[in-house]
């Protein structure tokens, strides 16, 4: 056995140091405290079941009895969850005695918190009916198993104390199927009792561990619910990353536009003024003129960089205007068809814009196309952007990272990319993704 600390009573019982550890006492505490939730569930269940159970023993006709049974079942199903819910909460806390692993309730959350006990939301959850099943087992099967263990404990105790019992009034004492009349006759049975004493903690651990495993299965979050919760958290974290990336990109664009670009414009103006004041044929004049031209080129490059980070026209006038500006800058003629009744969320507009920009860049570099077409429309909450060219075709995402990057960018917002590019063309790139409420 490894040195890893046991997490459950069953794991502890399989270890060699079980009897000298604290697990037997934890199991004993779990078993001895079980009657409290058991009675808490049994009393309300009895009050729910007894009326219609008594009706079954009455002299009513078969039809009336069936009706009473059906009404009783509905009554129990309706009010039973209200009993099972607090019992399950207590049992999840008590489970720590025999299972140190954290357990999470399978109930859904509304606005970040669980719905109230009397909320109808509860009755639509699988978790509440698993808790109902646990409460039912707690008042039916569990008492039988606990009773069997208690009988075994009494039997072993009877064997251990059999010599004392045989010291009574001289009459034989029954020890199961045999009887002993004197303390000397009871000594072998006492020895057997002492030999069986160590089995009691192991049986208690097995029973407590099995009870705990049942509680974890029925009262914890199921595997499907855990998977759904993990997927929801992944989606939320992905959305947070997208928003953080968009905010950082806007900050960089703002800093470049309001900071570096303005200082570069001032520098260009000063160089232009110095260029005018200096003789054009002097060494100083030629150096200033060269610096002036380089500053103007640098300013154009900076403007292109800012436009690539987040174009101003996209933020000010929206996606259709930004796509038309892309088409105007394209080296081949590109027509634009846009049907967007309202502004979209900023990161959705940005995704569509950069997909279109990358697609037009690929057309200019690789397609040998003579013309292109872009169309964008919003239908039923889904944005569809299509870019087409009459080039040579043969585009393959596996040959480069450009198309793969586009697919990844669209997948971030739960979209998809479709590509048709047979040899000889035409090439059609289509992306679709759901759109949220307008940005306002």
Render 189-241 in DSSP notation, one character per residue. Answer: HHHHHHHHTTHHHHHHHHHHHHHHHHHHHHHB--HHHHHHHHHHHHHHHHHHH
Helix (H) or strand (E) segment spanning residue 373? strand 372-379
Q: Determine what percent of the chain is predicted with pLDDT higher than 90.
A: 12
Q: Are 403 and 397 in contact (CB under 8 A)?
A: yes
- Residue 27's pLDDT is 92
* Tokens coding 266: 């001032």
Rounded to the nearest integer, the mean pLDDT of the chain is 76
Q: What is the DSSP string of 1-57?
A: --SSPP-BHHHHHTSTTGGGSSHHHHHHHHHHHTHHHHHHHHHHHHHHHHHHHHHHT
Contacts 24+ apart (CB under 8 A), 296-300: 296/268, 298/264, 299/261, 299/264, 299/265, 299/268
- Residue 204's pLDDT is 93
* Tokens coding 220: 């914890």
pTM: predicted TM-score of the whole model, two decimal places: 0.51
- Region of poorest pLDDT, from 17-31, 42-56, 269-283: 42-56
CA distance 107 to 234: 19
> Which one has a higher pLDDT value, 197 or 173?
197
- Residue 112's pLDDT is 43
* Tokens coding 383: 């944005």
> Which one has a higher pLDDT value, 105 or 235?
105
The answer to whether residue 105 scores a pLDDT higher than 60 is yes
Cross-strand partners of 375: 337, 386
> Which one has a higher pLDDT value, 382 or 150?
150
Average pLDDT for residues 50-75, to the nearest whole number?
55
CA distance 341 to 335: 19
- Residue 150's pLDDT is 94
CA distance 107 to 84: 13
- Residue 391's pLDDT is 83
The answer to whether residue 357 scores a pLDDT higher than 70 is yes
Domains in the chain: boundaries: 9-221, 244-309, 316-434
Q: Which fold has domain 316-434?
A: Heat Shock Protein 90 (3.30.565)
> Which one has a higher pLDDT value, 245 or 342?
342
Alpha helices in 220-311 (DSSP H): 223-255, 261-277, 283-309
Average pLDDT for residues 129-143, to the nearest whole number?
87
- Residue 245's pLDDT is 58
Which residue is associated with the tokens 């759109």? 435
- Residue 145's pLDDT is 93
| 123 band by pLDDT with thresholds 50, 70 and 90 | low
Instruction: Tell me phi and psi for residue 278, to 5 degrees.
Output: -95, 145
Which residue is associated with the tokens 């269940």? 45
- Residue 124's pLDDT is 63
Burial 12-49 (b: 16+ CB within 10 A, else e): bbeeeebeeeebbebbbebbeebeebbebbbebbeebb
Average pLDDT for residues 61-84, to the nearest whole number?
58
Alpha helices in 331-395 (DSSP H): 346-362
The answer to whether residue 211 scores a pLDDT higher than 60 is yes
* Tokens coding 387: 């870019």
Separation of CA 140 from chain center: 35
Which range, 24-38, 180-194, 307-321, is most confident?
24-38
Smallest Cα–Cα separation from 203: which of 275, 141, 152, 137?
152
> Which one has a higher pLDDT value, 405 or 120?
405
Q: Are 433 and 351 in contact (CB under 8 A)?
A: yes
- Residue 1's pLDDT is 40
**Tens digit of pLDDT for each residue in 289-311?**
777 777 777 766 666 555 555 66
**Tens digit of pLDDT for each residue in 246-284?**
666 666 666 566 666 677 777 777 777 777 777 777 777
């Amino acid at each position: 056995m490894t040195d890893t600390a046991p997490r459950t009573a069953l794991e502890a019982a399989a270890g060699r140091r079980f009897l000298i550890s604290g697990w037997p006492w934890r199991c004993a505490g779990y078993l001895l405290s079980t009657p409290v939730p058991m009675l808490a569930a049994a009393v309300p269940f009895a009050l729910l079941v007894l009326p219609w159970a008594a009706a079954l023993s009455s002299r009513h006709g078969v039809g009336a009895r069936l009706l009473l049974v059906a009404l009783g079942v509905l009554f129990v199903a309706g009010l039973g969850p209200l009993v099972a819910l607090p019992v399950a909460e207590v049992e999840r806390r008590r489970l720590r005695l025999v299972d140190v692993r954290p357990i999470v309730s399978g109930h859904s959350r509304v606005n970040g918190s669980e719905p109230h006990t009397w909320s109808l939301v509860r009755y639509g959850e699988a978790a509440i009916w698993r808790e109902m099943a646990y409460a039912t087992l707690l008042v039916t099967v569990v008492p039988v198993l606990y009773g069997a263990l208690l009988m075994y404990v009494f039997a072993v105790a009877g064997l251990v104390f059999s010599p004392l019992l045989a010291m009574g009034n001289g009459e034989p004492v029954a020890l199961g199927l045999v009887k002993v009349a004197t303390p000397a006759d009871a000594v072998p049975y006492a020895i057997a009792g002492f030999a069986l004493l160590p089995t009691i903690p192991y049986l208690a651990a097995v029973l407590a561990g099995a009870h705990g495993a049942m509680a974890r299965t029925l009262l914890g979050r199921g595997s499907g619910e855990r998977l759904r919760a993990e997927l929801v958290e992944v989606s939320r974290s992905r959305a947070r990353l997208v928003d953080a990336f968009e905010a950082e990109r806007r900050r960089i664009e703002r800093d470049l536009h309001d900071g570096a670009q303005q200082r570069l414009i001032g520098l260009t103006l000063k160089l232009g003024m110095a260029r005018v004041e200096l003789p054009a044929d002097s060494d100083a004049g030629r150096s200033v003129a060269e610096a002036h031209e380089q500053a103007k080129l640098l300013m154009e490059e900076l403007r292109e960089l800012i436009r690539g980070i987040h174009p101003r026209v996209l933020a000010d006038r929206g996606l259709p205007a930004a796509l038309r500006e892309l088409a105007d800058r394209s080296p081949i003629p590109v027509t634009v068809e846009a049907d967007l009744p309202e502004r979209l969320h900023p990161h959705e507009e940005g995704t569509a814009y950069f997909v279109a920009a990358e697609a037009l860049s690929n057309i200019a570099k690789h397609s040998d196309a003579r013309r292109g077409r872009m169309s964008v429309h919003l239908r039923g909450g889904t944005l569809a952007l299509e870019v087409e060219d009459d080039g040579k075709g043969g585009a393959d995402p596996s040959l480069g990272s450009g198309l793969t990057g586009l697919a990844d960018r669209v997948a971030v917002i739960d979209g998809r990319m479709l590509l048709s590019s047979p040899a000889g063309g035409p090439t059609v790139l289509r992306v679709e993704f759901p759109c949220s409420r307008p940005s306002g």
